[in-house]
Structure formats: C-alpha cells, structure tokens
Amino acid sequence: MFSKATLKERRQYYREEWSTKDLPDFILKDLKKREFGFDHNGKGPNDRYKVFRGRESLKKFLRYKAPFAAYISVAFYNNPRRREDWQKAEYIFDVDAKDIPIRTCQCDGVCEVCLGQALEIVNSLIDTLQDDLGLNNIHLVYSGRGYHIRILDEEMMTSGSELRSEVLKYVAGAEVPKSNFFNPDISNKSFNFEHFSIPVGYSKIFTDKLKYNIQHLVGNEELDEINPKLMKDIIKYRHHLDNDNWGYFKRDIGPRRYKNLTEAMARVNLSTIDAKVSIDLKRILRLPSSLHSKVSMKCMEVKNRETFDPLQEAVPKFVEERGE
C-alpha cells in the first residue's frame, strides 16, 4: 500500500472502477465553469485549462488518458478555458498527513497513524468553522495523503484574500492571545468583513490546540525556540495538563520559556494547514473520485467524518489484487 500506481493500474481504475456517480454534487454543479488540469507523467499538472461540458465528456477523457493525477479549480469562471471573468472560489483548508509538524508516528511518508491524526485535525477545524463562524456548506475530501476541507458558503466564496487570511488565523489558532490568562469563553467582540463576523476572543481555540500539540510531542521534533532542554521539560511536566492545571505547568516551565513555547506553537498551528492554498483564489485541487497515483489511493468525498477509514474505503481494487 502507498506505492506508485503503474499505467496499467491507472487504466484499470478508470475503465473498471471509476464512475461518474462518484463525483460529488458540489463538483457536478456548474461543472462547465471550472478549469480542469491533469498530470500525465507524474511531474505535476502540465495539461491545464481543460473544460468539460458534462460528466460524460469527462468520463471519456479519463478512460482514454488514465492520467497520473486529475485536478479541478476551486474557482468558477465565465471563461474557465482562459481563467477569465472570475466569479467566486471555494475556501479551502489543506491538511497533508506527511506535513503535520508534530506527528505521533515516525514514518517518512504517510501511514495509518498520521492519516488518523490528520482526520483528528480536520474534524477540529470543521467544528470551529461550524460552531464559531456559522459556516455550514462544508465538504470534506480525502485527498490520498491527507484531507481538503472545501467550503462553499457564499460569504466565503465571494470573499477576497484578506478575509480568508483572517479566518485561517482564527480557525488555526495561529496567534497567541494577548491575555496572559486563557479565557475558555468566546468573546462577543468581532471583526466585521462585508457582513461576516469573526470572533476576537479565541483563547479557547488556542488553548485547546496548545494542549493537543504538547500532548502529542514525542521529543525529537525540531521546532523554533524549543531547544532540547525545554523539550525535555515540556514532556516532563505536561502531566499537569491532564487536569488543565496550566498554572502549575507554566510555573514548572518558567514564564520566559512558556512564552517561547506559546509563540512556537502558534507557528506550528499555522503550518499544520497549507496557508497558500487557503488564500489562493485560483487554486486547482485533486478531483474527488480521481486516483492519487503516487500512493495508489482514491481521492474521495468523506460522507461520515466520524467513522471514515481511508484504508478501508479509499483503496482501489488493483491494490487489493497486488496482495499487499
């Protein structure tokens, strides 16, 4: 498992297993307004600006070409063949298991453990997007090596880079709260962007993510401002956090080193998500239902994020036939 798919296997997948029924409704809607891109040799998407009028023409192309990778734009255009007359774009959170900065596994690519951790992270992000920001047109896609959160609420689809950046920092917990004392409640104050509000007092989000990161450290991570001695003490005293005794933890770590820790973890939180993808209004992403040929896994929409298991649901038949 997770080995590269051969051309023969790609052909088998698209001719025997792939179906237009696997395309999510949010992809099929206004399909002709999206740009498609393809990678035919494993060196990146070099076949761009493709347009399909319907699912059948896409089906014929995939069966004939059996691409190494297939992509679709997050943006909608009146003229997608030239990427002209931009209308709106999905808002994306991209979490790749191999790029998680604090991982509980020691693999050099992806494995069951880090894929499970990536799902934990995206579940937390979606909960914040729904509960704090009131977004509800959210689709989760397993990408093959991680997950894409694809948000189609109109207030985000028509927004610019400034709002996308602010929402990203809020949901990721990418800034240390100004208060020295973390407040578990969300502040009623908010930033307003074109009738869309972002709560300011997000200390609970930061605190939860800080605790999660500390509890998942294994000790060999190379993080800015966390030297080996501080890393050792964090692991030594993190038992205080089992009962949320932040005062004892901060006392044993020391105020200055605790400040270094929180600043480093804010950067860790942001680096867990590919920020470039979130603010890019013309990005292309893997097409749900397509094959991620580098790891021989299906890119697919997640119907139940609480029970989804990619090693059970996203494995192509040809991988099972390999006997791996």
- Alpha-carbon span 251 to 237, nearest angstrom: 10
Give 202's contacts (C-beta < 8 A, 6+ positions apart).
132, 170, 173, 177, 186, 187
The answer to whether residue 274 is catalytic is yes
1-160+281-324 classified as CATH 3.40.50.150 = no
Within 8 A by CB and 6+ apart from 74, the residues are 89, 90, 92, 150, 280, 281, 282, 283, 284, 285
pLDDT lower than 70: segments of the chain: 179-202, 324
Q: ∠ CA 307-22-286 to the nearest 5 degrees?
A: 85
Catalytic pick from 99, 132, 233, 274? 274
| H helix intervals, 192-254 | 203-216, 228-237, 246-253
Please provide the distance, in angstroms rounded to a whole number, between the alpha carbons at the two ends of the chain. Answer: 6
Answer whether 1-160+281-324 and 173-272 agree in fold: no
Residue 1: what pLDDT? 72
* 26-48 tens-digit pLDDT: 999 999 999 999 999 999 999 99
Mind listing the pLDDT tens digit for each residue in 120-160?
Answer: 999 999 999 999 899 999 999 999 999 999 999 999 999 99
Q: How far apart are CA 23 and CA 298, in angstroms?
A: 12
Residue 99 is among the residues annotated as catalytic for this protein:
no
Distance separating alpha carbons of residues 12 and 177, to the nearest angstrom: 52
Short-list 97, 93, 120, CA closest to 108: 97
Q: What are phi and psi of 66, to 5 degrees?
A: 45, 65
**CATH architecture for segment(s) 173-272:** Orthogonal Bundle (1.10)
Model pTM?
Answer: 0.92
CA–CA separation, 95 and 92 (whole Å): 10
The answer for residues whose C-beta is within 8 angstroms of residue 131's C-beta and 6 or more apart is: none
Residue 157 has phi, psi (to 5 degrees) of -60, -35
List the domain boundaries for the chain.
Answer: 1-160+281-324, 173-272
pLDDT at 179: 59
Among 47, 96, 99, 309, the one annotated catalytic: 96
Annotated catalytic residue, options 22, 94, 108, 132: 94
Task: Give the DSSP H/E element, type plus range, for residue 146.
Answer: strand 146-151
Residue 39 and residue 179: Cα distance in Å, rounded? 48
Looking at residue 119, its amino acid is: L
Angle at 96 between CA 91 and CA 98, to 5 degrees: 165
| Cα-based angle 205, 207, 210 (whole degrees, multiple of 5) | 110
Q: Give the pairing of strands 84-89 and 138-142.
A: unpaired
Three-class SS state of 284 = strand
Whether 94 is catalytic: yes
Burial class (CB in 10 A: 0-12, 13-18, 19+), 150: buried
Q: Which among 79, 92, 76, 87 is positioned nearest to 125, based on CA atoms? A: 92
Q: What are the distances in angstroms from CA 111 to CA 108, 221, 244? A: 9, 18, 31
